[in-house]
Amino acid sequence: MFSIGAIAQQTGIDISTLRKWESRYGFPVPQRTPAGHRVYSPADLAALHEIARQLAAGARPGAVIKAFVGERPSAEPMTSARVTDVLMPGVDSLRDLDVTGLRCWLEAQAAQRDAVDFVETIAAPFARQVGVLWGRGQLPVFAEHLFSSLLEQCLVIRYAQPRPALQTCSILLTAPSGELHVAGLSMAAAVLSELGATVIRLPADLPTNEIVAAAQAFNVAAVGLTASPVYSPRLLKAGVMALRRQLPAEVSLWLGGAGMAQLPAVPPDSQLITQMPKLVEAYRAVLSHHRH
């Protein structure tokens, strides 16, 4: 049996989040020690690992957790036969550790689509499926990293090319210090680059004042910040509020990722970006303002 602290440490899910899920969704349901402390079974730990992986890949907490509560096949994020058919060749290549096959498949899919369509139809659902397979023990960790690396290469080669004919402004993309799940930044960078934006990506280990200094140095129109659901909600809320306070008022703040979606509220003059079409709208809005 595991204490709530051990569960939080091993899954990366904040203790307050575990308690909130228990109250809101009825999962996980711990047993109680004679002293009244929560304890969790190995099955609970395995389920929470899988939930954390799905959320980090972009799934919504309510849908994933309710699936566990209802004892439905929650690990299957793709219920559409059409989507499954599209992704299956890539999934098979990854399972077989066929690097060339997976790279060629990703490049072929990207060649048929603009950046938004590629991210929404291929990259994001594939990333969720990879998280599911990892959670089931059907993929080793290095295979997950392999997929992330090949996806990054594909996005850069296909979409991150300069488009001098387009009007542009600069966008800074980063993540809170310590955040490890940044595949969403690569997808956002691809979409913005295709729109003509000058994208500046920073590693996720800079304090808030350095992000603000970079935003000012590069004269960016917006800062995009992403966080996965395993990031501490308390630290995330404090970091987002501090960043908004320190950024110049004319610089937009875009918040993306499943972790941001769990915040009870976003700061004023900030925007929650839940899908790539929303990112397109947000960029066009700041570009129009920047021109004027």
Q: In this structure, are 50 and 123 located in the same domain?
A: no
b/e 19-51 (16+ beta carbons within 10 angstroms → b): eebbeebebbebeeeeeeebebeeebbebbbbb
**Which of the listed residues 69, 94, 121 is the one where a domain comes to its end?**
69
Q: Which domain holds residue 100?
A: 81-159
159 Cβ contact list (under 8 Å, min separation 6): 110, 115, 118, 190, 191, 193, 194
Q: In this structure, are 176 and 147 located in the same domain?
A: no
Q: In this structure, are 201 and 236 located in the same domain?
A: yes
**Which of the listed residues 20, 43, 69 is the one where a domain comes to its end?**
69
Q: In this structure, are 106 and 33 located in the same domain?
A: no
Of 199, 212, 215, nearest to 283 by C-alpha is 199
Whether the per-residue pLDDT at 20 is higher than 80: the answer is: yes
- 116: in domain: yes
Mean pLDDT, the chain, integer: 84
Our count of domains for the chain comes to 3
CATH number, domain at 178? 3.40.50.280
Beta bridge pairs of residue 119: none
In terms of average pLDDT, the best of 68-77, 145-154, 229-238 is: 145-154
Helix/strand/coil for 248:
coil
Whether the per-residue pLDDT at 78 is higher than 50: the answer is: no
- 76: in domain: no
Q: In this structure, are 186 and 286 located in the same domain?
A: yes
Q: In this structure, are 275 and 189 located in the same domain?
A: yes
Query: In whole angstroms, how far apart are CA 19 and each of 22, 29, 53, 177?
Result: 5, 9, 19, 24
37 Cβ contact list (under 8 Å, min separation 6): 3, 4
Question: In this prediction, what percent of the chain has a pLDDT beyond 70?
Answer: 89
Q: In this structure, are 16 and 120 located in the same domain?
A: no
269 Cβ contact list (under 8 Å, min separation 6): 244, 249, 252, 253
**Which of the listed residues 103, 131, 159 is the one where a domain comes to its end?**
159
**What pLDDT score does 173 carry?**
96
Instruction: Grade residue 250 by pLDDT with cuts at 50, 70 and 90.
Output: very high
CATH number, domain at 31? 1.10.1660.10
Q: In this structure, are 180 and 238 located in the same domain?
A: yes
pTM over 0.85: no
Q: What is the pLDDT of residues 171-183, one digit of tens each?
A: 999 998 877 778 8
- 74: in domain: no
**What pLDDT score does 73 carry?**
37
